[in-house]
A and B are shown apart, each in its own frame.
Chain A
């Protein structure tokens, strides 16, 4: 039905006047609009990647794992984030803290393995919300695209971990 109506409309031809057939007025009008934008309005585009748009304070980018004020890993492998993750993309393996890694962890348990499958993550931030230890945050880093290797999307603990209070050095 709708298609028929549109077809009818398209088939309609109008008789063009002499001025129309000259084309000049239309060209002048078009050039005027172009020049107006070109000379008198500010450009909206950003020269990415040299220039970047500011992001919102609660932007949810890639995950970062935090350390506490003494530089120890906050995460204690409680699995709350894994439990709350709707995409089921977090994989944790807990282990006992023993020997020389003691200084690195405030509790008896730590995450020996902590992985996030970034391709499945929906960046909902539930993990951040669930974490009782304020260990995992979704921060401002968003340049996640890569072109050669999908295994890079398995984010490991090492890649997420903040180093001595400084933000993580991002890969990619």
Chain B
């Protein structure tokens, strides 16, 4: 096994690792701006300077030369080297915190800050800004730069991004992302040296669906997301890791929330699904978690407490022979399992279906054309719903049939999710349904006509499992407290089963997982 020494720590490695990554894995931080593990190495910021040395070998004898104390002598290169594109080789000795390096970093930071405005009070990046952190950690508080700083106007370069060129440190990450990951060539470096600008090329526009990532990887506040602009300072936000539910891919995301309101989503590294990125479509749909949320149950358009709503629903289901069920693939695999069992054993019906979108009908598991992550299927758990068997039985009506003519059924159980609300007129006919039982985390016009309307928890407030288009199972946990009296869908179904005389006794997510053998 090859070995290198970083700051007196002997590290074994195999293959051809990147020095910054290798050091990070071993708990040594090499500061960097322009290096990003998913992008090509550009080596322009020089923040990652390290001292590189090799063991001293006698050319004639082929033996290592030793000093007086018997240690092998190390020859250091006369100048510090950028760590990001340093080829690691066996026996190499790296110093990341020698006096020379500390001095060099100060110099680099002084240059980086030469044109950087003192914008932290205004800048949205403050608090999660790499330049801010490094200035505290490695920089010093004086500057010899007395000339005028270059200034630009704020520029909304696309509907998603706002650019403040004043703050740019020319690391080139955004331009590399655009060409390498998003595959567009409309955004690049223009002009040179001090006057360098990152700009949308004349006649071009940024149209790709991954612009938010450019703001994420921008180490400073030069690119920020317009939607989040001035909404909150980042140090007031709490963070929680969950999944994006806006398409079948199910990217890992982090919510930033405060007082129960979500302010933004950011991608979280997930090797198997989304690596470092997420799409703008999903990023900006966090709004559904805040807007028109339902916190209480209702019966016949009036507020009702949970128990009375529950017994009313049980009566309706007992009395009806012909029940239509439109499930939602936004519900977790656990809920789908309970739901499927409920309409097989407790209130048997063949008219159960989750497929309200065309992509689901085709069982389409492909990505949208030209997309990196976003799938055609707008539901995160279509695979799971299929696995749970939420499909029409013999002679059963499909979801589209039920949506088209709900009056044919004695009772309709309808799960309303953000996608079906967004799609607009899908629910147009539903007010004709005879005995409508709605389960939804969102308010809708059907609440007034529904016989019973339950408030369920949104995915950010509960735990569960999704199976994405690639068949990858992903669990998620609640990141926010539930709203008001909202219940988990599986909880409602389980309690209904009790009221209807065939109790499942599945009153926790753990019991459901072990009962349906979903692993723990």
Enumerate chain A interface residues (CB-CB to B < 8 A). 76-80, 83, 94-96, 107-109, 132-133
Contact = CB atoms under 8 A, between A and B. Distances in A.
A94 B124 CA distance: 11
B121 A132 contact: yes
Contacts of B122: 76, 78, 107-109
Contact of B230 (A77, A83, A132): A77
B120 A96 contact: no
Given A83-B235, A94-B230, A78 B121 contact: yes
A79 B119 CA distance: 14
A109 B120 contact: no
B233 interface: yes
B120 A78 contact: yes
Nearest to B119: A107
A83 to B, nearest CB: 7
Interface of B: 119-122, 126, 154, 229-231, 233, 235-236
Contacts of B126: 78
6 contacts: A78-B121, A79-B236, A80-B121, A83-B235, A95-B230, A96-B229
A109 B228 CA distance: 13
A96 to B, nearest CB: 6
Nearest to A75: B121
Name A's interface SS: loop
A80 B230 CA distance: 14
Contacts of A107: 119, 121-122
B37 to A, nearest CB: 32
A108 B233 contact: no
B233 A109 contact: no
Nearest to B226: A96
Most buried by B among A80, A95, A133: A80
Contacts of B120: 78, 132
Most buried by A among B121, B126, B229: B121
A54 B158 CA distance: 58
Contacts of B154: 108
A109 B236 contact: no
B235 A76 contact: no
Contacts of A109: 122, 230
A79 B233 contact: yes
Contacts of A95: 230
A133 B122 CA distance: 11
A76 B118 CA distance: 13
Contacts of A132: 120-121
Contacts of B231: 94
Nearest to A131: B121
Instruction: Give the 7 A-B residue pairs with the shortest CB-CB distance, closest first.
Output: A78-B121, A94-B230, A79-B233, A107-B122, A109-B122, A76-B121, A132-B121
Contacts of A77: 230
A76 B117 CA distance: 15
Nearest to B124: A109
A133 B121 contact: yes
Contacts of A79: 233, 236
Given A78-B126, A133-B121, 6 more contacts: A77-B230, A79-B233, A79-B236, A107-B121, A107-B122, A108-B122
A109 B154 CA distance: 12
A133 B120 CA distance: 11
A77 B229 CA distance: 12
B156 to A, nearest CB: 11
Contacts of A94: 230-231
Contacts of B119: 107
Contacts of A80: 121
A77 B233 CA distance: 10
Contacts of B233: 78-79, 83
Given A79-B236, A108-B154, A96 B121 contact: no
B235 A96 contact: no
Most buried by B among A77, A94, A95, A132: A94
Nearest to B153: A108
Nearest to A112: B230
B182 to A, nearest CB: 27
